[in-house]
Amino acid sequence: MSDAPYLSLEKLTLAYGDTVAVANLDLPIRKGELVALLGPSGCGKTTTMRAIAGLLPVKSGHVRLDGADITRVPANKRAVGLVFQSYALFPHLSVYENVAFGLKLKGMRGTGLDAKVRSGLTSVGLSSFANRKPAELSGGQQQRVALARSMVMEPKVLLLDEPLSNLDARLRLEMRTELQRVQKETGVTMIFVTHDQAEALALADRIVVMKNGKIEQIGSPEDIYNRPTSSFVADFVGFENIFPIEQGKMKTSSGLIDLSGPAPSAAGLAWRPRMVTLGSGPFRGTVRGTSFAGDSREYLLDTPFGPIKAEVEASQPAHALGSDLSFDLPAEKAAPLSRFA
């Protein structure tokens, strides 16, 4: 794995008509990386993916792949594969013919073609389904056919649109393992688009969080999960208590409040519910809501800062609705945010 980017988006601007969907995006991706484009709907992640595939013309900027500028290269000559969210299998063709489709267009025939299709189907565990029609397969099987159909083309980059979102919990785990295996075995560069942070955290080497057509943060799953740099990312990955910082104090609806410890220099601070200390500390709040979640218990507190969400181990004694509690938002545990939107 070298450090020079294999696929790079440079000052990429994409638009539908006059509506700009992605503005001035820079994103270098190394060979063999598994990158997630993460963000809510409308953030531009799917638009970016379609531009990499060549399905959407680039307004300005460049797409470079393996040393060549492919900005104007048509989609059918890019060597970029895409597994659609709906799988987009050809309904009139058998599983075998679906996988053979692209190879035949490459001019492959006879035993070479057959061997390649068979090995593609075997690698996704569907060799016995070769003669079925897509409609006769389950969603998970259809997705594996779509994966095989793209992979037999030996693409330089494989794009996946919401690869786990249509699957049930058990199949998700199976597919996640499958994708990681394919990636390790073939070393293909993979980029997938998702709105589900858990999916991105579980699967990706690197996560690109997007918002309103711009990159909000790039980092490893650990970075994104533990060290969000903006309130948007913090909120997206489950920090539910987020406050701006002004003059070293926490800015709340009831004015500036001193923290219990020295405040780091940051635009804001964010705490996960688990980071809130309950039962001791300088602040007081009233229990407004409580819910039991198996090994933990969640509380919603009414406090001078507004509502605070806290989570403690279920083994600790429960607090009744309406009870008055002391709590703390320990500054040393908080994620410091450099941007507060």
Partner 1 sequence: MSARSLFIPLTLFLVLGFLIGPFLIIVAASFSGGETLAFPPQGFSLRWILKVFTVESFRASFGMSMFLAIGGTAAALMLGIPASYALSRYKLPGAEIVRTVVSAPIIVPGIIVGLALLRYIVVPFQVGITPALFLAHTALVLPYAVRVVSASLDNLRSDIEEAAVLLGSSRLGAFFRVVMPNIRGGILSAFILGFVTSFNQVPVSLFLSGPGVRTLPIDMIAYMEIVFDPSVAALSSLLAFLSIGIVFAAERFLGFSRYV
Partner 2 sequence: MFQNRAEALALALPAAFFAAAVFLMPVAILLSDGFRNPVGGWTISAYTDFFADPLNRTVFLRTLRLGAIVTVVSAVLGYAAAFAIVNLEPGTKGKMTGLVVLPLMISPVARTYAWIVILGRTGIVNQALQLVGLTDAPLRILFSETAVFVGLLQLFLPLMIISLISALENMPKDAVPAARVLGANWFQVFWKVILPLTKEGLVIGGTLVFTGSLTAYITPAILGGSKVLMLETLLYQQVSVSNNFVSASVIAFILIVMSFAANILLKRVATARNKQRVPQ
| Nearest residue (CB) to partner 2, 55 versus 257 | 55
Nearest to 21 by CA among 209, 161, 194, 213: 213
**If contact means CB under 5 to 8 A according to the sort of partner, which of partner 1, partner 2, none does residue 57 touch?**
partner 2
x/- site string to partner 2, residues 40 to 69, per CB under 8 A? Answer: ----------------xx------------
| Nearest residue (CB) to partner 2, 57 versus 307 | 57
Residue of 26, 68, 72, 90 interacting with partner 1 (CB under 8 A): 90
Window contacting partner 1 (CB under 8 A); options: 25-33, 98-106, 197-205, 238-246: 98-106
How far is CA 169 from each of CA 84, 100, 159, 305, 330, rounded to the nearest angstrom? 19, 30, 22, 37, 35
Q: By CB under 8 A, tell whether 86 contacts partner 1.
A: yes
Could you give the 3-state DSSP secondary structure of residue 332?
coil
Q: By CB under 8 A, tell whether 204 contacts partner 2.
A: no
H helices of 54-168, in order, are 95-105, 110-123, 139-151
Number of residues that bind partner 1 (CB under 8 A): 26
| Nearest residue (CB) to partner 2, 22 versus 329 | 22
Window contacting partner 1 (CB under 8 A); options: 24-32, 90-98, 229-237, 288-296: 90-98
Cα 218 from chain centroid (whole Å): 11
Could you give the 3-state DSSP secondary structure of residue 300?
strand
For the beta carbon of residue 222, count every other beta carbon within 10 angstroms: 10
Residue 93: CB minimum distance to partner 1, A? 8
Residue of 49, 153, 300, 329 interacting with partner 1 (CB under 8 A): 153
Q: Rounded CA gap, 150 and 158, in Å?
A: 8
x/- site string to partner 1, residues 3 to 42, per CB under 8 A? Answer: --------------x-------------------------
Q: Rounded CA gap, 37 and 46, in Å?
A: 8
Q: 61 and 24 in contact (C-beta within 8 Å)?
A: yes
Q: Rounded CA gap, 139 and 168, in Å?
A: 9
Interaction site with partner 1 (CB under 8 A): 17, 53-55, 75-78, 80-82, 84, 86, 88-92, 101-102, 105-106, 146, 149-150, 153
